[in-house]
Every structure is written in C-alpha cells, then in structure tokens.
Structure 1
Amino acid sequence: MAVADPDSPDASSLWMKLPVHEVLLLVGGLLMLLVLLYTMEAPRSGSFLSPPLVAIAGALLLWPVHNNAAARALLLSGGVLLFIWAITRTSTILIPFVAVYLLAYLLHPIVTRLDRKYRIPRWVSSMVVTTLVVGLFITTVVIIAPNIVEQIDRLSRQTLGALEALRGWLATSPVVAELEGAGVIERETLIRELTDFVQQQTRRLPSAAEEVLASVGSVLGIITVLALIPVILFYTLKDYPSIRDSLVGLFPTTNGRRDYIVEAGSIVGNYLRGQLLIGLISAVNVAVALALFGVPFWLLIALLTGVLNFVPRLGAIVSMVLGGCVALVFGGWMDALIVLIVILAQQLLEQSVLTPKILSYQMGLHPVLIVFALLAFGTFMGVFGLLIAVPATAILVTIYRAWREELTLELNEYGASRR
C-alpha cells in the first residue's frame, strides 16, 4: 500500500496557501476567458466589448499573478484564442501574403541555385524569377483562361440539353412504361422532378455568373492586388532565408534544436514541387493527346487530370471515371475509350519515368499509411483533406520521429543514472 508523502503538497493545500487577492484575480481571469469566448462566438454590431479589449483586460487582470502556473495557462489560452480570432478576421487580407509565401517557398531553390552556382546576386535572380512567374500568369490568363470559360459554358449548356432529351425519353420510352406498370417507378413524378431540376439550373447559370463577378470585387481592388503580388513576391524571394528563419524560430525546440521543422519543410517542399511539375506534365500530355483525337472538352479533362494528380492513386481513378463519363455522354463510346487509354498511358509514364526521376527522394511513408491518410483526411476535411493528406502525414511522422528519438535519449540517460 502506497504511503502519501507528507511533504508533497496537494492541490487543495496550494490553493489554501494563496492570498485571497490572488485567488480573486485567477477567478477573474477565468471569467474574462469565458467572456472572450462569448464575444468571439456571438459578435454584436455596435457592442463595446470586442475580443481584443477583453483579452487586454484579462491580461492586465492576470499580470500581477503571472508567475502562477494557473495564470500562465489562462494567459496562454487567451492568447491562442485571440490569435485564431485575428487570423479568421484578417483571412481576406492574409490570403495574398500566404499565397505569395507559398510560391516563394516553392521557387526558393531556383533562386538559391542561380545565386550559388552562377554567382548571380540574389536580388537579380529574384527579379528574373518574379518576371517569369508574372509572364506565365499573363500568358495563362490571355490564352488558356478564355478556352476554359468557353468549354465550361458549353459543357453546362449541353448538360442541360441532355437532361431535356432525357426528359423526352422518359415520357415516350416503353421501358419506363413497363417499369411503371410493375410499380417500380412513377413516370409523372420522375418527369416532374427532372423538369424542376432543369428549370432551377437554367435560372442558376446567369445568377452564378453575376455572383462570380460580384465576389471578385471592384476593378480597382483587383488591379491593386495584382500590382502588389509581384512586388511582395520579389521581396519575399530576395529575403526568403531571413523570413524562413524567423518563422522557424516561432516553433518549439526539441532538445534545443528545431531539426524536425527543417526536415518536415524539406519533405513537404520536395513533394509539392515534384507534384506540381508532374501534374503540369500530365495535364499537357493529356490535353495534347485528347485534342489530336478530337475528344470533346479535352481541356477540362486535362485540367481535371492535372489537379487530381495531387491525390495519389485515387486521383487517376477519379480522372478516368469522370473524364470517361463526359466523353461518353457528349461524344461516344470511342471518345470514352480514348480518354481511358490516354489517362492510363499517362499513369504508366508517370509511375515508370516521371515519379522516379522527379520525386527521387524517399517520402518514408508506407503505402498502407498513405491510403489510410487519404481516407482519414478526406472524411474529416473533404477534397481539401485529400490534397493535403500526404504532406500533412509526412509532417506528423517527422514530428513523431523527432519526439521518439528525444524520448529514447531521455530513457537511455535515465537507465544510465539508475545503474
């Protein structure tokens, strides 16, 4: 039977030893944390209370007892909540900066290689890379974007036309009459629901275009953002090492080091760069092949293949199914067969040549773990979860390995001290 140490203080004795004013301050800090949660959850226009004011008041209230562990926990909790609230409120402003930093993160090796191998000053290489990115963006908008919009508009209208033809077939088909006679379906109900659906979609097409134009914002805002992005990208590329080191310094250390952050960043960076390049090659190959065979909506099918290439294994299957269905409905069985053959050939090329050459590094993830990560992230986060499943899993595995190595070191030291 274990005997309690009389010298070890318990929680009740610690609270009893605290002065009354410190207890009151801690209770007040807890109440301010609850008020902070309330103001974040139910904001009211015109209200004097706001999360920053509540957070400041709570910090001032707890500052006299900030050396207390409970006070530090309340301050940390409030700080995290306020940070999340600020990120949520400023998400519209932060999106361009986050996108530019991600782009600089992907292009940083090119600038570094030009600087180290060819002795080009970093500001010059950053200017060259920024100019190339802006030129590629303008070319995409001028040449490819109109074709994409035209094919999307044609696909939507042909889809509505196919639904109209399906409604006429339902009204005259003897097969449907036999099924109705057997009590399997009700012809009138099915036709009425299909008619309502077609009418809703027909009214939605013009309104969808108006919503897109309204969501884009004013022309002045668009010009301002487009003018700022190249400038932000240039300075981010030029000063990327110092910006990266500052961000890495925000993460906690493991045994006094942050190697796990560097390793995880390297894994994710290599994965994203490789997948972007492979996706671009896949989209170009599929687009050229389908255009040569005259498959309808070849550009949309190629873009779908390139985007879904970010989802390992499952992306190719979804591309073949969706692309084959589009080609079958708006072309014929021969077009659908061509789509399946082209995407399958692209997958064979990717697995045998592109992936070994471009993704020459080892992700260090077992195939079963990758499939599980895809299913888990897809269940909780949808399509976005499928896109980030593999890099996020790589980061988690890297952090776990760093923690396990640190735990192993601590256990070894403990075992040596016990001898």
Structure 2
Amino acid sequence: MNGEARGGASRTWPAWPQAAIILVAFLVLAVSVRSVLSPFVLFLLYLYLAWPHQSSPFVARLTVVAAILTLLWVAERAGLLLAPFVLAFLLAYVLDPVVDRLQRLGLPRSAAVALLALPLAGVLALIIFVLVPAVANQLSQLIANVPTYLRTLEQWLESVRAWIIRMGIRGIDERTLPTLRDIDAQSLVQYLQRRQAEVASGGLQAVLGIGRGIGAVLTVIGYFVLLPILTYYLLRDWDALRGRIQELLPRAYRDRVVAMAGEYDRLLGRYLRGQVLLASCVGVIIGVGFWILGFPYALLLGLLAGVLNFVPYLGLIASLLAAVLIALFSGHFLGGLLKIGVVFGVEQVLESILGPRIVGQSVGLHPVWVILSLALFSFFFGFVGLLLAVPAAVFLKLVLAAALRRYQVSRWFRGEPVGEAVERD
C-alpha cells in the first residue's frame, strides 16, 4: 500500500510546472485576444483573481492602486462622455447645503430640490437664449474687425519706431539705429494677416473636430438635457448616497476616512462655493460696467473675467490685458484707458468688500497650486480633467499635509536612533 502511495505520488506533478504551464497558456490567450483587453477588462480580471486573497493587506493596497489607475484611464478615454456626469456631481455638491437649509425650513427634500431647480432653469435659459447669442455676435464682430486692428497696429509700430529714432534714447547706439530704420511695420502686419487666416482655419478645424463623433454629440445633448436631470436626482438622493458610501467603507478605516472626508468637504466646499459666487460677481461687474460706459466687447470681457476668475488673479490679469489691447487697437486709447480704470477700480473696491464675506478665510490653496492642477489635469484628461482639477488639488493637499505631520513626529525628523525611539515608546 505504501508502494502504491509512493507510485501515485511519483506520478503527481510538482506545483511549479503546473503553474508555469497555466501561466504560459494564459499569456498565449492574452496575446490572442489583446484587441479586447482594455485596462477596464484587465481590472475586472484582476478583481476575480484577487478575490480569494482579499484579506491580505498587500492585495488590498494593490486593488486600490489598480482602481485608481483604471479610473484615470477611463477619464482619459471617455472624458467627453463623462463630463455631464462629473459636472452634475459637482453642481449637486455645491447646491446640497442650500437644499439642506430648505429642508430645515420644513420642506421635503424633493420639494426643496424642485424649488431650487426653478431659478436655476431660468438662469440656464437666460444663458442659452440671451447670453450665448450676444457673446457669439460680439465674437463675430471682433473677428471681422481684425484687419482694422492690424492696420492700427501698423500705424502704432511705425510711430513708435519713429519716436525712438527721433528721441535718441540712451542705450540705443549707432549699431542699433540701422536695425530700427530697417524695421518694416507693413511687412510685419502682412505676416500677421497671413497667419490670421491660418489661425482662423485652425480654430475652425478644432471646433469642428470637437463636434465630431457620437461621444461629442452625446456630450452636447448631456449638457442641455441630461445635466438638469442628473443634478436633480443626485441632489434628491445626496444624503442617501453619502450614507451608503460610508456603510461600504471597511470598519477598520471608517472613522479615519470619515474624518478626512469631513475636512476635505470643508475645504473643497468653501473654495468651490466661494469662487463660483465671487467669479459670477466679478464677471457681472466688469461686463455691466463696460456695457454702461460703451466699451467694445463688454460681454466678452465680462465672460473672460468671470470664467478665469475661478483661479485667483488670473481673470483680473487676462481681462485687463484684453481690455488694454482692445483700447489700443480701437483707436481711442486714452478714452479707453480711462474707462478701463473706472471699471476695474470699481471692481477691485467691490471685490475687496465682497471677497472676505463670500470666500471667507483662505482655504490654503495657493494660486500657483490651483493653476498647476488645472494645467496638468486638463492636459492629460481634457475637459473632465479641468472639472476634477480643483477637487484633486484639495485631496492632494490633505494627503501631503497628513504625510508631513507623520514625518514631523518620526524618528528621522527628530534625529533619534531606532533603539531610543522604541525605549521612549
């Protein structure tokens, strides 16, 4: 009997040849069907294989990393399709405190959301049917006036060159004067005019390229049809969704994650709600101010200031430079500068009064950090990355702050040997 057992054992293969054969077969299969092996499919396969080892801390961390990488891939590949959903989620997040206040007044949550949706629908209709056509009209006027502005630029360059030569400014020697005299402003303007057609053609191709494909069509439909519907249902079920997510958190980490999420909500909510309201006020002040004073392209300047003011100081700088250039090329430079000074002076006074009341104290997001996040996320993930840039910046700030606190209490920071740290503990 022992011989039979030994014979049976001798006929049993060791574990590693079986594993090697299975691995080779799996690799051959993977190469054969590589056209359908997207990262999302690979992530599902990984979950199936890792499920028996879910109690392992290493597998748990690896699953989190794999999930993050898969989400980044989905954001990069399906950003246009996901944009309405992400935007609806952000709108629901921003508007949830308003709904909570209406609930405290005695309204049911569904009624509170519906009551809030009425003015939002009015604002959306105003934007679509009034603001968008007016902005498009001013933009077409700006494009049509480009040749006139180029002729003004030619005259201005010629006058500047003649003034420099006539004044004999210190630092311009005899070797520089022939170069200035040889500058042909007309040639420069002709070059810009040639480039104008190329830039306009490239811009048109870019606009048409965005509109190609089923994904882009669904995105446009989503902005005007799906977005209000998604925002309504997310707002209505926001508290239930948040409670469900908390229930799904592992019990060992639930308290820590909830505490960090509360800090994250405080920082992100204060920044988003404050900046959205402040940017809207800045855009209205600049647009209406320029419109009252009769400055060209008032709505474009107000829209530029409002949208870019989401990043501190960027909207002010961009709209100010654009207004100065418009005043320079329109032929009424001094009068335009006076109007610019009045509008931006009033805007700065009102912003200094409204800013602290709307935004409150600083949330710790440096403007450079915000600009860097917007640039990187929009570069890698397109429009959906632009929407997620600020939430990601707040999250990274909290993670880095927690890592810095742990480092400051570590033995490496204190300069203590390992033995002394253990004895002290």
Code of the aligned partner of 1:153: S
In the alignment, does 2:89 pair up with 1:93? Answer: no
219, 228, 231: which one aligns with 2:229: 231
Q: CA deviation at 1:292?
A: 1.6
Shift of 1:90: 3.3
- Contact 2:283–2:302, Cα closer than 8 Å, also in 1: yes
Aligned to 1:129: 116
The offset of 1:23, in angstroms, is: 6.9
Aligned to 1:20: 16
Give the secondary structure class of the aligned counterpart of 1:119.
coil
Task: Describe the shift of the 1:387–1:234 C-alpha distance in structure 2 as closer, same or farther (beyond 3 A).
Answer: closer
Percent identity between matched residues is: 27
2:227 is matched by which residue type in structure 1?
A: I
- Which letter maps to 2:103? D
Q: How many residues align?
A: 385
Q: Indicate conservation of the 8 Å contact 1:280/1:306, yes or no.
A: yes
After superposition, the C-alpha distances for 1:301-329 in whole angstroms (9 at most, x for unaligned) are 11122222222234323322222222332
What residue is the counterpart of 1:336 in the other structure?
Answer: 337
Contact 2:86/2:387, CA 8 A, preserved across alignment: no
Cα RMSD over matched residues? 4.8
Q: Distance in 2 between matches of 1:49 and 1:386?
A: 28
Q: 2:366 aligns with which of 367, 370, 383?
A: 370
**TM-score in terms of structure 2 length:** 0.71
Offset at 1:144? Answer: 1.2
One-letter amino acid matched to 1:94: L
**TM, length-normalised to structure 1:** 0.72
Asked if the contact 1:55–1:78 (Cα under 8 Å) also holds between the matched residues in 2, the reply is yes
Q: Is the 8 A contact 2:282 2:306 kept in 1?
A: yes
With over 3 angstroms needed to count, the CA separation of the structure-2 counterparts of 1:28 and 1:96, relative to structure 1, is farther
Tell me if the contact between 2:304 and 2:318 (Cα under 8 Å) persists in the aligned partners: no
Alignment of structure 1 residues 19-418 onto 2, 5 Å: 20=16, 24=20, 47=35, 49-56=37-44, 78-116=66-104, 118-164=105-151, 166=153, 175=162, 182-183=178-179, 187=184, 190=188, 193-201=191-199, 203=201, 222=220, 226-247=224-245, 253=253, 256-330=256-330, 332-333=332-333, 334-351=335-352, 353-360=353-360, 362-365=361-364, 370-373=366-369, 376-377=372-373, 380=376, 394-402=394-402, 418=424
Instruction: Write the letter of the residue equivalent to 1:336.
Output: L
| Partners of 1:115 and 1:122 within 8 A in 2 | yes
Paired residue type of 1:109: P
Deviation at 1:25, TM superposition (A): 9.0
Runs (5+) with no aligned partner, structure 2: 1-13, 166-174, 412-419
1:261 deviates by: 1.4
Specify the alignment match of 1:6 in structure 2.
Answer: none
Alpha-carbon distance in 1 for matches of 2:150, 2:315 = 27
Query: Which digits, 9 at most, give the CA deviation of each residue in 1:383-418, with x for residues without a partner?
Result: 99999887655544434445566778999xx97984
| 1:106 to partner: Cα distance | 0.8
Distance 1:163 1:299, change over 3 A: same
Residue 216 of structure 1 and its aligned partner are, at CA, apart by 9.4
Take 1:229 and 1:405, find their aligned partners in 2: how far apart are those partners? 40
Provide the C-alpha distance between the structure 1 equivalents of 2:387 and 2:51, rounded to a whole number of angstroms: 43
Q: Given that residues 271 and 363 in structure 2 are in contact (C-alpha distance below 8 angstroms), is that contact kept between their aligned partners in structure 1? A: no
| Mapped contact 1:370–1:390 kept (Cα < 8 A) | no
For 2:342, the aligned partner's letter is I
Matches of 2:205 and 2:246 in 1, distance apart?
A: 45
Question: Relative to structure 1, is the Cα distance of residues 318 and 241 closer, same or farther in structure 2, using a 3 angstrom cutoff?
Answer: same
Question: How much has 1:70 moved relative to structure 2?
Answer: 7.1
What's 1:7 paired with?
none
Structure 2 counterpart SS, 1:182: helix
Residues 406 and 141 from structure 1, CA distance in 2 versus in 1: closer, same or farther, beyond 3 angstroms? Answer: same
> Which deviations, in whole Å up to 9, do the C-alpha atoms of 1:80-114 show, x marking residues without a partner?
44443334343333211111111111111111100
Contact 1:22 1:65 in 2 (8 A): no
- Cα distance in 2 between the residues matched to 1:203 and 1:314: 28
Cα 1:206/1:220, change in 2 over 3 Å: closer
How far did residue 256 of structure 1 move?
3.9
Structure 1 unaligned segments of length 5 or more: list them.
Answer: 1-17
Residue 330 of structure 1 deviates from its aligned partner by 2.0
Contact 2:103 2:112 (8 Å CA) reproduced: yes
Deviation at 1:239, TM superposition (A): 0.6
